[in-house]
Structure 1
Amino acid sequence: MLFLSNVVLLIETPEFRMSQSRTFSLTLLAMIAFAGNSLLCRQALKQTGIDAASFTSVRILSGALVLWLITQWRGGRHFSAGSWPSALALFVYAAGFSYAYLTLSAATGALLLFGAVQSTMIGHGLWRGERFHARQSAGLVLAFAGLGVLLLPGLSAPPLFGSLLMLAAGVAWGVYCLRGKGAIEPTSVTAGNFLRAVPMALLVSALTHPQQALPPAGIWYGVCSGALASGLGYAVWYMALRGLKATSAATVQLSVPPLAALGAVVFLGEAVTFRLLCASVAILGGIALVIVKNAAPVPATATTSSPRHCKN
């Protein structure tokens, strides 16, 4: 915990925030943390025998604790910030994420999650009357075509039920991001939402696995996912955002699925199929066409519905 306090103090200093190289370092660290969530969850469920509900509980509880400590250290609000509807969206995301990784590979899950989050926010922008240019429309079609390619039946297709769970998790996270858009104290709001989500996760664990002994290794992976990849990862990301433009913040998130895929190959021994590669290029490339602004200023675009502080 002393290490955590030192990290928070360091990234709070004006000298640290002013450096572009340090902004890059913080951004890279945050993206690695977010990709690490997929690796930690998949490894825990595949190798340790922990159930998805318990992993979700450990992740949310440890994330809430770390975020609460960070807000306490900084003298901010904690439980008073946030809301119950946002906490519910957070819980649905975390639970769907865990249950989906019972059957999905880390790379496939990260790609589906990312695509669903961005599609939800882009769809919200369209529903509010935003208009696309021809390039953005083509990008949206390309992204959905890539999703279709990934989910088409075949030997290399991911399990349908797990895919639907991850898509639902992505929609929930997109809703959570939209609800938190423009938050003045994003870390405090996130801490409050995590704290509110704890009883939801514990209730599901109690109802589904009331007497199951939790393996220590599974608990450890859950703590790393919640405390480091989620709690500390969000805090670092919010600091990095102070040195990033909105478009840059949205675009850099394209790195998360490739980082998760690379980590899955190196650390989990997962194979990346040709279908996944093609779908990744189509989905990530299509979303990039949508969220990257034109050189010239234009009226409302889908990028306005991509909150700077949103990520899994």
Structure 2
Amino acid sequence: MKHLHSGKVRDLYELPGGELLIVARDSISAYDYVLETPIPDKGKVLTQLSLWWFEQLADVVPNHVVSTGLPEGAPAEWAGRAVVVKRLDMVPVECVARGYLTGGGLKEYRRSGEVCGVALPEGLVDGSRLPEPIFTPTTKAAVGGHDEPMTFAEVEGAVGAELAKQLREITLEVYRRGAELARERGVIVADTKIELGLRDGGLVLGDEVLTPDSSRFWPADDWEPGRSQKSFDKQFVRDWLVSPESGWDPASGAEPPALPEHIVAQTRAKYIEAYERLTGRSWA
């Protein structure tokens, strides 16, 4: 197999038949940096949770999965974290849906009363539930770069009006389906990012879907607007990095510090809890 690309948390290989192999590593990214400290089992959690979600969403949008078996010559340690997939022509837009206001969306709302050109009611706070889910796309930055918000008009300019409409419809439906299923399991999906690509003229869901890396998961029984929410996702790592304990400033230009053992252990536990709550399966 031929190595094609390494992203923030995944490696991409080309197989002899032309299909691709995606391998999820245990690395974690935050503030546009790939941190030096791995989170044990993270790659497997992301892969197995994505596979479960691909099944739940099969009637909403097709996905890129061909096989979950290891191809000949692949290292045994890739088992559980590698997927053979179809080659897609990925659209140059990060497709994001928000049902709650937090993170970058909250910052943009505080500045302008809008998120990606979508006007929102006055008086919303951190953690507020939006009147309805909204499509808040961004640019796709290279590793180390920063994704920038896009208006829907800018998406139309980038990919055309018809494809932009389809991107919005699919993203919002994936969010609605995922949020509904997760809520039944006591989890709020505050927002999520999906990757879509074209194959044979139609849109296909790729990469990962509704994972703790690509989504914000909050325990429903602890949700309280007006404060930061407890979570089952990498927001925990982001919060530690900007805490006094880490002593790191994202604006400093310095590399982030290594994660201490207790943060690694708690992050791993959060990812596994997300998997177990959503799928109803035991990780052990």
TM range (shorter): under 0.3
TM-score, length basis structure 1: 0.26
The structure in which a higher percent of residues are strand is 2
The answer to which structure, 1 or 2, has the higher relative contact order (CA under 8 A, 6+ apart) is 1
